Structures are given as structure tokens and as C-alpha cells.
Amino acid sequence: MRLSYSTGSTYSYPLARSFHLAHEAGLDCVELVLGPEAIRRGPAEVQRLAEDAGVSISSLHGPILPLPGWRQIPRNIERLTAYAAALEPSPLVVLHVPQARDMERDERGRAFREALASGLARDGLQIAVETPGLFHTTERAFELFDMDNLGRFAERMGAGIVLDTVHVASLSQDILHAYGLFRQRLANVHLSDLVEVPRWLDRPGLHSLIKHHQIPGRGVLPLAALVQALARDGYEGLVTLELSPVALRAWSATQAGRALREAVAYVQGALSADH
């Protein structure tokens, strides 16, 4: 497996600083989360920045803020796959699934399927759909928020799967069971922990910052067991540390670096403990 770092964890940092942060933690690749700087600079210049920092771009994720021109399906997928195709080599493209009750009948579902098929038709481009996070119980009505449906959809389309550990847990699913379900199509693991928070802080709008995407080992998920299962099965894909800026204490680059090194050490410790 190849351990990576999501630049979305330090989304407010200049890209060069995020790239160097990953390198200083002992990593050689990143998941680039597109933001205003990456869009303005363009693929070639961003790739040069990454190489100057000693890392490669192993996967590509769309903006996490609603940037103009990046909100609507299929335009956002078309722009994301075009960006990936301009990088050398082309990284894995990570897509969030749509909130569609029926992927065949809903307009949003159809647009997503068509854009995904078009992206997969590009030579040398690999695309994976990410397990969605559940923030409201009404979201269970969406077709791809069911793990079995998601697995069948990915297989039918020829796409990979990104197993996000806290998203799977938010769906009240066991992450080891999800791994078994998705093992044959697994292309990336977004690795982070889930912690319990006081009721007054347990609000969907805060989950991604203070409950989900926490430093591995600080929460309740069996992440070491998952990492060890990946290693035993000879998994050769990505394991991406996708961490909350609050968990990283990203207001301080020094503290962010320390927290990222802790996360890397957790994964390395899990691997060494299994030998």
C-alpha cells in the first residue's frame, strides 16, 4: 500500500506548504483537493510545486467549497477529469456520489452516470466513487448511500471505490465488513478516526471538523485491524490520511506537522505489529 495525505486537511495553506508538510512527515504522495490556488495555477504548475517538495500527486479530489463553475453535475466531473488527464501520470480521480433516490430515473443520477462513463472512457484514467457520509437520516433514501447498492453501481460502471472509514461508520456499518464488501474494487482508503463528542456539540454541521476525520488511534474505529487486513491481502492501492483541520490543529503549522507525523506513525505501528 502507498500512504498519502489529503491537502484538504490543510485547505487554507498555500499548496507548497501542504506538499512540504506531507514530505516532512515521511510521505511521498498526496491527494490534491482542488481549491482556488490549484485551479488558478493549473495542472502543470501544481505538479511542479509538488515535485519541488518531493511528493507526487497520487489522487485528485474536487473542491470542498462550492466554487463557481464546480457545483453542477456533469460540468464539475468533466473539469475534474480534464485536470487529472493533464497531470503526468494521471492520478486516481475521487468522486462523491450524488444525492439521488434513483440513479436511473433522477436527473442528477443520470447526469452523474453519463459523466462517469465519459471520464472512464479517457485512456489511462482511473476513477473511484467514495463511500458517502450520513449527516441526516433522510439521506438514507439516496440509492448510493446503501453500501450494497454502491458496490453494484461501481462494478456495473467499471469504477473503483474509495472506502472512507468515518463515512462508513456514519452509516452504522462496520469498516471491516465494508472492506470485505469492496475489496475487489478498492482503489483508495480515506483513513481517519471517529470520536464521541458531547451532545451539545453533536451537530451535523460540526461533524466533519470535530467528530469525523480525527487522528487515527484517538477514536473508536478499528483502524489498525483494517490496515493489517489490507497488508495481509497484498493491497497495493492508496491509503490517504484525510484529517480535519481541527484535529490537525492546522492554525499552527508546527502542530499540524506533529499531528500528521502521529497519524503516519499509527499506520506504521499497525503494520509492524502485524509481523
Cβ atoms of 52 and 42 closer than 8 Å: no
SS3 194: coil
Residue 214 has pLDDT above 70, yes or no: yes
According to the model, what pLDDT value does residue 41 have?
Answer: 98
CATH superfamily of 2-273: Divalent-metal-dependent TIM barrel enzymes (3.20.20.150)
For the segment 225-229, the average pLDDT, to the nearest whole number, is 98
According to the model, what pLDDT value does residue 202 have?
Answer: 87
According to the model, what pLDDT value does residue 236 have?
Answer: 97
The total of other beta-carbon atoms located within 10 Å of residue 78's CB is 13
Residue 269 has pLDDT above 90, yes or no: yes
Q: What residues contact 153, with CB distance under 8 A and at least 6 apart?
A: 97, 103, 129, 143, 144, 159
For the segment 75-102, the average pLDDT, to the nearest whole number, is 97
The total of other beta-carbon atoms located within 10 Å of residue 176's CB is 14
For the segment 237-251, the average pLDDT, to the nearest whole number, is 98
Is the pTM higher than 0.95? The answer reads yes
SS3 34: coil
Residue 275 has pLDDT above 80, yes or no: no
